[in-house]
Amino acid sequence: MKKIKSLILVALILVLVLLAAPTTALEFNDTVYYNIAYGRPDASPAEIEEAARLARIHDFIMGLPDGYQTRVGERGLKLSGGEKQRISIARAILRDPAILILDEAMAGLDAESESLVREALANLMRGRTTFVITHDLYTIQHADRILVLTDSRLVAQGTHEQLMAQVRTMLSHHPEDKVCVFACNWCSYAGADMAGISKLQYPASSHLIRTMCSG
């Protein structure tokens, strides 16, 4: 049984990549090149550069003193959260996993970094099964299926459009009901104007959104 469990674990490691919040991004005290190549050590320089371009980090790297040979410092000390995250994305693109898990991958980024990371994530998620755990509803608007949880309980599921329709119905019939609390959050972050609902009338609450997006 232990051998079977070990084989399953190895199989998962080979096909799965986890990308967490920028503050937890793993960076080695080595060159930018090494940090990207860690995803696939046998990759060619051209493949590493292509991964960096798709991750929207190539131009930044070329502006560093030694380009791809610039050392990033212990745990990426010389890099911002957005820069570390895009290097992590480049590493994941290079590895080309079958399954991708994003856990609050946009957390704590400034507006400029957020825009670049969103573009990079779009390239990373294309053509692969992706699970997204996030409070940032913008990230998962195009997901095939969205699961909304509150207090560890499933309160709604569907596509973005289906959930928006539920929001309109629930708030028109039960505006004071606690079951609508997820809808307030959804509207505030994912299109209150579309739903015709005032953000001031229904302030946002904090919930965990789990998303499955099959590429």
Give CATH superfamily name and number for 22-126: P-loop containing nucleotide triphosphate hydrolases (3.40.50.300)
Q: What is the DSSP string of the chain?
A: -HHHHHHHHHHHHHHEEEE--GGG----SSBHHHHHHTT-TT--HHHHHHHHHHTT-HHHHHTSTTGGG-B--GGGTTS-HHHHHHHHHHHHHHH--SEEEEESTTTT--HHHHHHHHHHHHHHHTTSEEEEEES-GGGGTT-SEEEEEETTEEEEEE-HHHHHHHHHHHHHH-TT-GGGHHHHHHHHHHTHHHHT--TTTS-----EEEEEEE-
Q: Over its length of 215 residues, how does the chain's per-residue pLDDT go in tens digits? A: 555 445 444 444 445 666 666 666 667 789 999 999 988 899 999 999 999 999 999 999 999 999 999 998 877 778 888 898 899 999 989 988 888 888 888 887 888 888 898 899 888 888 888 888 887 777 788 888 888 777 778 877 888 888 878 766 766 665 555 444 444 444 444 443 333 333 334 333 333 333 333 33
**pTM for the full predicted model:** 0.70
- Domain borders along the chain are 22-126, 145-214
